[in-house]
Amino acid sequence: MLPRIRRLLAILLLVPVLAAPAAAQPFTEAQRGEIVEILRQALRQDPSILRDALSALQEDETRARGAAQRAAVARHADVLFRDAGDPVRGNPRGDVTIVEFFDARCGFCKQLHPSLEALIRRDANVRVVMKDLPVLGPTSVQAARALLASQRQGRYAALQDALLTLRGEPTEPVLRQLAERVGLDWARLRREMEDAAITRRIEANLRLAEALGIEGTPALVIAGQGREGGTLVPGAVDLPTLERLVAEARSAR
């Protein structure tokens, strides 16, 4: 073990002891003072010890969070990968599935969208499952309702493309304009947007995202065919990164 790591471990082991109540403390006050002085001298001589300690704690937290997310993905595999009600793009029988949690108003989701579209065009064995996650307010909820209602008319992908390339806000007049442009029956769409089943689907997506520890959009879960686990990727990534993640998922089958 390197000397710096030894010092780091010694300090990390001593800190809880010094913080404990006096009644449970095996050291005298004089000994405690000597230990505190040793710690102070060590930090003065090598301030990087504290930086290394914080870095080690952050790495431990990251590993623990990753393990918890992988376990959550495995626990929720059915609803995540195999919910027959979810909109699907790409190859429905693809050997790699990408689940995208997105908000139609999210700027990073709009940034990711062309890369996902390019991936679908370039890789005929990718299946993309859409999970509408309207986290940016009432206008986002309205857009998600319109998207899920459009699925009943077979125009989900067309409306999603229109929304994710939209530069303005998807207010109701704008939604109507986009819906009619992609061939949707607006009167039917507007009526079905209020269906309780759509409300339940949005609520289920929100609960699932919370269970997976997803903190924002976009978020991707990528898994090879037959795998219960998967890789959770927060944020927008570029096409080369998507292709690498898909290749890794495919080779891990």
Q: What is the pLDDT along the chain (253 residues), one digit of tens a residue?
A: 444 444 544 544 444 444 555 455 566 788 778 777 877 887 788 877 667 666 666 565 555 566 666 778 888 999 999 999 999 999 999 999 999 999 999 999 999 999 999 999 999 999 999 999 999 999 999 999 999 999 999 999 999 999 999 999 999 999 999 999 999 999 999 999 999 999 999 999 999 999 999 989 999 999 997 666 788 999 999 999 999 999 999 988 6
Q: Please report, for residues 20, 82, 84, 146, the alpha-carbon distance to residue 150 in angstroms, rounded to integers and kept in the order given.
A: 60, 20, 16, 6
Please, what is the end-to-end C-alpha distance for the chain in angstroms? Answer: 37
Which residue type sits at 175? L
**Whole-number pLDDT of residue 68:** 67
Which residue is associated with the tokens 């089943």? 197
**Whole-number pLDDT of residue 60:** 56
Which residue type sits at 113? H
Burial class (CB in 10 A: 0-12, 13-18, 19+), 169: exposed
**Whole-number pLDDT of residue 56:** 62
Q: Please report, for residues 32, 47, 121, 174, the alpha-carbon distance to residue 9 in angstroms, rounded to integers and kept in the order given.
A: 18, 15, 51, 60
Q: Please report, for residues 35, 103, 141, 171, 235, the alpha-carbon distance to residue 147 in angstroms, rounded to integers and kept in the order given.
A: 63, 11, 10, 13, 21
Strands 96-102 and 126-132 turn out to be parallel
**Whole-number pLDDT of residue 66:** 60
**Whole-number pLDDT of residue 59:** 63
- Alpha carbon distance 175, 188 (integer Å): 13
b/e burial code for range 170-204 (CB count within 10 A of at least 16 → b) = beeebbbebbeebebeeeebbebbeeeebeebbee
Strands 219-224 and 126-132 turn out to be unpaired
Residue boundaries of the structural domains of the chain: 3-75, 77-251
**Whole-number pLDDT of residue 188:** 98
**Whole-number pLDDT of residue 64:** 54
- Alpha carbon distance 60, 52 (integer Å): 12
Q: 77-251 sits in which CATH class?
A: alpha beta
